[in-house]
Amino acid sequence: MAPDFVLSLSEGPGMSADTPDPPFLAVIFTSKHSGQDVEEYGRVADRMIELAAQQDGYLGIESARSENGPGITVSYWRDEECINAWYRNAEHRDARRRGREKWYEHFHLRVAQVHRTYSSQPRVEET
Amino acid sequence: MAPDFVLSLSEGPGMSADTPDPPFLAVIFTSKHSGQDVEEYGRVADRMIELAAQQDGYLGIESARSENGPGITVSYWRDEECINAWYRNAEHRDARRRGREKWYEHFHLRVAQVHRTYSSQPRVEET
């Protein structure tokens, strides 16, 4: 049972996941898309990745999402205050409202403190 | 810049992300595939999701992966001891060794304690 979805993954500057030594915070957002309004959703999701990268305390983002299925976005932050500020951002609030109303069949948001990391190499070159 | 990848997402029993109230732990595994040996990789990745779900302290898993690009798998666990036991599992060790040697161009592993959760609905019905 491994259905295939089309995954659209943004690879802007925000896709670097070269986070510092822990501790830092991770916001794990997982969602199942409704399948509605896919093009506009993709546009807004790309914009949110771009906008997140401009926020104070932003440390990186990793995102895999499907046009009509599950998606996972993990963003990394210095502290809770940075996350709260990002969630107060007006454009982000508006995107979340549209997500709740239209784009997501359901979603989970989990905030976690990263205390241990391991990488296959000390530094990932993102191009 | 939003390249499309084929996302293969397993939807076995392990895909439920109906985690309990925090605190619990999250293992965030993000990877970039080498593009080598894709079929065998998919088979082993499906098996690891199945096997993880049988471990003590397993709370759920969410996974989005591409055949030739980035992938994110987040697994949820009761405590560190459960994670350590899962990483000592012989079949899992062997899969990780093959991943390092062949399947992954690079990867990050981050272990985090979830302290706050929010869902769009109290309980997700997975079918």
Q: Is residue B23 part of a domain?
A: yes
* Residue that is written with structure tokens 């998919």 in the block: B42
Q: What is the pLDDT of residues B74-115, one digit of tens each?
A: 999 999 999 999 999 999 999 999 999 999 988 999 999 999
Q: Is residue B65 part of a domain?
A: yes
Q: What is the pLDDT of residues A2-38, one digit of tens each?
A: 323 333 333 443 354 789 999 999 999 999 888 888 8
Q: Is residue B42 part of a domain?
A: yes
Q: Is residue B122 part of a domain?
A: no
Q: Is residue B121 part of a domain?
A: no
* Residue that is written with structure tokens 């998606």 in the block: A71
Q: What is the pLDDT of residues A89-103, one digit of tens each?
A: 999 999 999 999 999
The B residues from 21 to 60 touching A (CB cutoff 8 Å) are 22, 26, 28, 30, 42, 46
Burial B65-98 (b: 16+ CB within 10 A, else e): bbbebbbbbbbbbbeeebbeebeebeebeebbee
Q: Is residue B34 part of a domain?
A: yes
Mean pLDDT for A28-49 is: 91
Rounded to 10°, the helix A38-52/A90-98 angle is 150
- Total domain count for chain A? 1
Question: Which CATH number characterizes residue A74's domain?
Answer: 3.30.70.100
Q: Is residue A126 part of a domain?
A: no
**Radius of gyration over alpha carbons of chain B, in Å?**
15
ipTM, 2 decimals? 0.83
pLDDT band for position B6 (cuts 50, 70, 90): very low
B61 to chain A: closest CA residue: A30
Q: Is residue B98 part of a domain?
A: yes
Q: Are A11 and A46 in contact (CB under 8 A)?
A: no
User: Residue A40 is part of which domain span?
Assistant: 7-114
Q: What is the pLDDT of residues B31-43, one digit of tens each?
A: 988 888 889 998 9
This prediction has a pTM of 0.84
Calpha distance A117→B29 (Å, rounded): 10
Best of B19, B29, B116 to disrupt the A interface (most A CBs within 10 Å) is: B116
Does A75 contact chain B (CB < 8 Å)? Answer: no
Chain A residue numbers with beta carbons less than 8 Å from the beta carbon of B119 are: 106-109
Q: Are B61 and B73 in contact (CB under 8 A)?
A: yes
Percentage of chain B beyond pLDDT 90 is: 60
